[in-house]
Amino acid sequence: MALYVQKFGGTSVGSVERIKAVAEKVKGFRDDGHQVVVVVSAMSGETNRLIGMANEINDEPTPREMDMLVSTGEQVTISLLALALHKLGVPATSYTGSQVGILTDSAHTKARIQRIETDEMRDDLDEGKVVVVAGFQGVDEEGNITTLGRGGSDTTGVALAAALGADECQIYTDVDGVYTTDPRVCSKAQRLDSITVEEMLELASLGSKVLQIRSVEFAGKYNVPLRVLSSFQDGPGTLIVAESDQDEDSMEEPLISGIAFTANEAKLTLLNTPDVPGVASRILGPIADANIEVDMIVQNVAPAGDYTDFTFTVAKGDYKKTLKILEEQVIPDLGGGEVNGDDNIAKVSLVGVGMRSHAGVASKMFRVLADENINIRMVSTSEIKISVVIDEKQMELAVRALHTAFGLDKSDIESE
Ligand SMILES: Nc1ncnc2c1ncn2[C@@H]1O[C@H](COP(=O)(O)OP(=O)(O)O)[C@@H](O)[C@H]1O
Ligand SMILES: N[C@@H](CC(=O)OP(=O)(O)O)C(=O)O
């Protein structure tokens, strides 16, 4: 007998028929003698619908009320799934995050889990019940409902699996695993049997939507066996593994494991800023004070005592606010300069632990993009990733060209 935490995403519970299909799947595991805790998201589109209504009423909604509102999406699906399980003769009880004891800090809309009470879940499991938990939500010390950030049900799933010491956390979604890149953009993308925690962290943080980054962090930190699978077809999915657990066959790692991309950033350049100590902090300080996260940063080298350009990226949603801070606070403070902004950019990233031991990945990447006439505007690297910023309209072309050039296309692998 194993204990599984199974998380079903929005598409997997997107209709009454699909909820019934999830109930059948869960019943199958229980009939095989396993204990199951199910975490569900809201029906696909529901969270956006709720946010849209709030924005129609108030364009600056308070985070506490937003959490109160958006947490209702998951309350619908937990009860419907419990009812579907009852209909199949399976005893099941549904719980909101607050009822099940998912305690978080008070950072509304991006709360972090601090503690999970497991006693009630364990009692239910021991009584042979399926436990159905609302993903994406928790409760703070004062009893306020909180949410964990978009895509947060993945994190609920992995956190519950860690707290319960589950044998595996299974993330059921609308693709049958983690692919070399988003299969919706590149039809030649192929499913990976396994991927390391580190690589998955990079892919998630660089835009691959398949897992929320914090769920991967949790899995790494608490050693939770984590698998991504399809809700709609059987198959082994993709196992997220610690690097040391990779099997012998994969010792000769591929150079690149995956390609991530996002069009969700904007670029800002301060031209003609004085090149003296302290300037970077005077530019980025007010931005940090406004709680805006900065991603890539590039400062041009200037001759001593001269002027320089300073470029950085922020989330597209923070673009206008950042522009305003630069124009109204930073430029007057620096006593000069000019702002240049662009929110039609995309970031494309190659990720792979194999990069550590191979030179020349960046130069090959740049050559492939040059051959496609794609201009690179910014570059950033780490030990296992290279990211470039390019024009948004060339994003998909870049992803496909790089996918082919780095030997990731389906036909390349199949013919090996
Ligand atoms: N490398 C990747 N592998 C698999 N899917 C990816 C990848 N990058 C992006 N995706 C996208 O992630 C989607 C699944 O995530 P999401 O829509 O959040 O699912 P859910 O609603 O089940 O949580 C897929 O439909 C796919 O388009
Ligand atoms: N419903 C929430 C939480 C979530 O995780 O959804 P999904 O599993 O469909 O990505 C959201 O839309 O962000």
Report the alpha-carbon distance of residue 322 to residue 284 in Å, rounded.
10
Q: 407 pLDDT exceeds 90?
A: yes
Which residues contact residue 120 at a Cβ distance below 8 angstroms, ignoring those fewer than 6 apart?
Answer: 95, 100, 101
Confirm if 232 and 379 have CB atoms less than 8 A apart.
no
The full DSSP string for 187-254 is TT--B-SEEEHHHHHHHHHTT-TTS-HHHHHHHHHHT--EEEEESSS-S--EEEE-GGG--GGGSS--
Which helix (H) or strand (E) covers residue 94, if one does?
strand 92-95
- Within 13 A of 342's CA, how many CA atoms are on the CB side? 17
Q: What confidence score (pLDDT) does residue 343 get?
A: 95
Ligand 1 pocket residue status of 174, Cβ below 6 Å: yes
Q: Given this model, what pLDDT does residue 356 score?
A: 84
Q: Where are the domains of the chain?
A: 3-174, 246-416
Nearest CA-CA partner of 135 in 113, 114, 154: 154
Distance, CA of 315 to CA of 334 (rounded, Å): 24
Q: How many helices (H) and strands (E) does the chain have?
A: 15, 20
Atom 23 of ligand 1, residue of closest alpha carbon: 9
- Which ligand minimizes its atom distance to the CA of 182? 1
Q: Is the CB of 229 under 6 A from ligand 1?
A: no
Q: Which CATH superfamily is domain 3-174 in?
A: Acetylglutamate kinase-like (3.40.1160.10)
**Strand duo 238-241 + 194-196: pairing:** parallel
Q: Whose CA is nearest to atom 3 of ligand 2?
A: 151
* Four-way CATH pick for 246-416: 2.40.50.140, 3.40.50.620, 3.30.2130.10, 1.10.10.410: 3.30.2130.10
ipTM over 0.95: yes
Give the number of the ligand closest to the Cα of residue 22: 1
Residue with CA at minimum distance from ligand 2 atom 13: 150
How many angstroms does the Cα of residue 154 sit away from the middle of ligand 2?
A: 8
Calculate mean pLDDT across residues 42-70: 96
Predicted confidence at residue 199, as pLDDT, reads 93
77-121 pLDDT, tens digit each: 999 999 999 999 999 999 999 999 999 999 999 999 999 999 999
Indicate if ligand 2 lies below 6 Å from the C-beta of 9: yes
Quick: pLDDT tens for 157-188: 999 999 999 999 999 999 999 999 999 999 99
For residue 215, give the ligand nearest its CA: 2
Whether 40 is in the pocket of ligand 1, judged by its Cβ within 6 Å, is no
The burial class, CB within 10 Å (0-12 / 13-18 / 19+), for 360 is exposed
What is the rounded CA–CA span in Å between residue 26 and residue 275?
61
Cβ(14) – ligand 2 distance below 6 Å: no
Which residue CA neighbors atom 13 of ligand 1 most closely?
210
Ligand 1: residue of 210, 227, 230 to mutate (most ligand atoms within 8 A of CB) is: 210
pLDDT of residue 305: 63
pLDDT confidence band for 359 (50 / 70 / 90): confident
Atom of ligand 2 nearest to the CA of 44: 9
